[in-house]
Amino acid sequence: MIKKSITYTDLVEDFANRNIPIDTPGFYDHPNFMKIEEKNASYLSNYAKFVHERPRDETYDGFVKKTAPLIINFYHDKYIGKDSSNSRTEFTNVISKALEKAGVWNYVVKGSVTIDFPDASDIPKHNFWSIDYDGYSAAHTWIVAPPFYVVDVSLKTHAFSAKEAEHLMPINCNEANNIIEAELEDILTPDACTLLASHKLKRSEYFGVISPQTEKFLAVFPSREVSFNDTKIKYFPLSVSAADLPFEQMSTIQFDGQTAFDLYENKIKKLIEHA
């Protein structure tokens, strides 16, 4: 598990010692990186921390703010409604790879989400929990692409009521500067909390018993809150993820008969060049 104390300099030195080049986005696909990851599955977090801490300037941030929404919106307009509820993770991975192709550093996060709807709506809180008493399963997936610390392209494809959907935006591309503390009830299911309480455990012991790495991960990759009108969406990162295939080989999702890579090469690249 990556340590909170690790610095950007530490990471650069570690990658250099392992002969892992760090000059282009997506270097987690390099054979030397993958060899380490085969032995240590959590090593991908080092890439995420590198992206998180990588020095940026106004020119780069301006490039991301212009390029990322362009890419995301282009894919989203051609994808939404096409079996989207069953392929959220794949779509998120497509966007991540397209951003890398354009030169935007990013990483994919899996975790929990809590939605607080406006008080006037009378809609109860909506939770996507990742940890139950019998294990972990990613409730939602999003992208971190600094200066955008929340890039969410698939939240609205979950099963929301029509009334709930009115208070959600299809795409959330946000700097998410509001860092928050994670509460147990945002991450653990009610059943898990009830079970742990029945064993007379202190609340401070819950994560240690059911998911020892959770608190450590949250300490390195903090939770964040974004707002849309009066709706507040809280994101709680619990693990780092990445696509299994190179961008050129991703073909599960088609866009008007084209793969994501073909669409990028045939359409999106030119849009970026002329933006």
Residue identified by tokens 């494809």 is: 157
Note the pLDDT of residue 7.
Answer: 95
Q: Which two tokens stand for residue 193?
A: 């909390």
Residue 205: pLDDT over 80: yes
Note the pLDDT of residue 82.
Answer: 59
Residues 228-274: tens digit of each pLDDT: 899 999 999 999 999 989 999 998 888 888 999 999 999 999 999 88
Note the pLDDT of residue 136.
Answer: 77
Q: Which two tokens stand for residue 97?
A: 């790879």
Q: Looking at residues 148-163, what average pLDDT do you find?
A: 93
Q: Looking at residues 168-196, what average pLDDT do you find?
A: 93
For residue 151, the one-letter residue type is V
Residue 221: pLDDT over 60: yes
Measured CA to CA, the distance from residue 236 to residue 186 in angstroms comes to 8
Could you tell me what percent of the chain has a pLDDT over 70?
Answer: 97
The band of 275, judged by pLDDT with boundaries at 50, 70 and 90, is: confident
Residue 6 φ/ψ, nearest 5 degrees: -65, 140
Note the pLDDT of residue 264.
Answer: 95
Residues 18-31: tens digit of each pLDDT: 999 999 999 999 99
Note the pLDDT of residue 274.
Answer: 84
In the chain, where the domains are located: 56-274
